[in-house]
């Protein structure tokens, strides 16, 4: 059994190898550049952890883990184009550095290389893995489209927002665990539980993200607090506040949205508190964590095997930064 940190080191070592041919450099160098800027590699490690829940980590799981990380990076390169983001992890995005056309194509080829890794599966059920991978890939695209649609909408329901986050963020975390479990020989029931564990953990993680951006401890939180409020981003907090606000509070919220008034952040935070969304977010997060852990409990393996996942889950959703 390995902790997240141990698997993280092992995966980093393997993933450092070359994933692309040398030629044409104008296509593959940008793809390599993006992988070199790093990342926490959470998804591939979830695949490995899902695999180890049922036995020793097999070689198929390593291949699928690489496929998942390449897929995730493909989505980031394309999302950055769509969002016109100049920076990621403090360095220029691919389209900023190499132009949009090359960024688009580097992303495309990275997705194809992800499928090349999937095709290296030797013993596992290739059809089932492909089916899960394809469904997840489609859902992530759907989530990104909904996210873009929401930006143009005046008001978004909490249920719509939840659905979007589930597609854009949670299903890939969940499916990464499930693919590892599937390769480890898990039955349908266990696969469903590990998927639901990952899905609810993903939702809790996003709530935590939104919460920290607004109410985090400035001494611990690395970024500028209130970035989402400045950008008028639709978050769990804003959506819930708009649903529960009195007509007068709603007027105040709407007056702040889109404004560049210097007191925008503290005023919005004040409205969030008045609407009770700070407490609500903490409770909702706890609820999702509770559901996630109940699904983990239901998985029919020795409880000791679940320890690394429990530790990781606690770390992910209790972080204050």
First-residue to last-residue Cα distance in the chain: 28
Residue 293 C-beta: closest distance to a second copy, Å: 31
- Does position 85 interact with a second copy (CB under 8 A)? The reply is no
Dmax (CA) of the chain: 62
Q: Which is nearer to a second copy, 151 or 320 (CB)?
A: 151
- Does position 33 interact with a second copy (CB under 8 A)? The reply is no
| 174 CB burial (10 A radius; 0-12, 13-18, 19+) | buried
* Total residues at interface with a second copy (CB under 8 A): 35
- Does position 157 interact with a second copy (CB under 8 A)? The reply is no
- Does position 155 interact with a second copy (CB under 8 A)? The reply is no
CB atoms within 10 A of CB 158: 14
**Pure H helices in 216-276:** 227-230, 236-244, 247-256, 264-274
Residue 195 C-beta: closest distance to a second copy, Å: 19
How does DSSP assign 188-200, residue by residue?
Answer: HHHHHHHHHHHHH
- Does position 116 interact with a second copy (CB under 8 A)? The reply is yes
Interacting residue with a second copy among 6, 149, 283, 297 (CB under 8 A): 149
- Does position 102 interact with a second copy (CB under 8 A)? The reply is yes
Interface stretch with a second copy, choices 75-83, 175-183, 187-195, 269-277 (CB under 8 A): 75-83
3-state secondary structure of 93: coil
Residue 108 C-beta: closest distance to a second copy, Å: 5
- Does position 153 interact with a second copy (CB under 8 A)? The reply is no
- Does position 35 interact with a second copy (CB under 8 A)? The reply is no
Could you tell me what percentage of the chain is helix, strand and coil, using 3-state DSSP and rounding each to the nearest 5?
Answer: 75, 0, 25
- Does position 225 interact with a second copy (CB under 8 A)? The reply is no
Residue 161 C-beta: closest distance to a second copy, Å: 14
Strand partners, 91: 88
What is the residue whose two structure tokens read 């960024």?
103
Q: Can you list the positions of beta strands (E) in 25-173?
A: 87-88, 91-92
Interacting residue with a second copy among 37, 85, 91, 111 (CB under 8 A): 111
Angle between helices 236-244 and 188-215 (to 10 degrees): 80
Interface stretch with a second copy, choices 44-52, 85-93, 106-114, 272-280 (CB under 8 A): 106-114
CB 77 within 8 A of CB 205: no
C-alpha to C-alpha distance for 274 and 52, rounded to whole angstroms: 46
Interacting residue with a second copy among 37, 141, 256, 257 (CB under 8 A): 141
Site residues for a second copy per CB under 8 A: 23-24, 26-27, 78, 81-82, 100-102, 104-105, 108-109, 111-113, 115-116, 118-119, 126-127, 130-131, 134, 137-138, 141-142, 144-146, 148-149
């Amino acid at each position: 059994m390995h902790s997240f940190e141990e698997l993280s080191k092992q995966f980093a070592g393997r993933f450092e190898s070359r994933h692309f041919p040398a030629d044409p450099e104008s296509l593959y160098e940008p793809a390599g550049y993006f992988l070199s800027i790093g990342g926490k590699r959470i998804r591939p490690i979830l695949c490995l952890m899902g695999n180890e829940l049922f036995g020793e980590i097999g070689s198929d799981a390593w291949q699928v883990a690489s496929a998942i990380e390449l897929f995730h990076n493909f989505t980031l390169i394309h999302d950055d184009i769509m969002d016109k983001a100049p920076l990621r992890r403090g360095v220029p995005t691919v389209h900023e550095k190499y132009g949009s056309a090359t960024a688009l194509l580097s992303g495309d080829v990275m997705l194809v290389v992800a499928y090349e890794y999937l095709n290296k599966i030797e013993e596992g059920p290739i059809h089932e893995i492909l089916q899960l991978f394809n469904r997840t890939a489609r859902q992530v695209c759907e989530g990104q489209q909904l996210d873009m649609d929401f930006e143009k909408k005046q008001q978004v329901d909490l249920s719509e927002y939840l659905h979007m986050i589930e597609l854009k963020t949670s299903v890939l975390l969940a499916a990464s665990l499930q693919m590892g479990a599937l390769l480890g020989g898990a039955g349908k029931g266990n696969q469903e539980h590990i998927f639901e564990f990952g899905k609810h953990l993903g939702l809790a993680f996003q709530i935590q993200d939104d919460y920290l951006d607004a109410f985090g401890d400035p001494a611990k939180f690395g970024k500028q607090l209130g970035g989402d409020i400045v950008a008028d981003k639709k978050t769990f907090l804003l959506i819930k506040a708009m649903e529960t606000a009195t007509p007068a509070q709603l007027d105040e919220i709407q007056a702040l949205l889109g404004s560049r008034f210097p007191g925008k952040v503290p005023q919005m935070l004040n409205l969030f508190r008045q609407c009770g969304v700070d407490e609500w977010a903490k409770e909702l997060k706890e609820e999702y964590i509770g559901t996630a852990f109940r699904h983990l409990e239901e998985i029919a393996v020795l409880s000791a095997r679940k320890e690394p996942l429990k530790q990781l889950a606690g770390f992910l959703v209790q972080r204050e930064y």
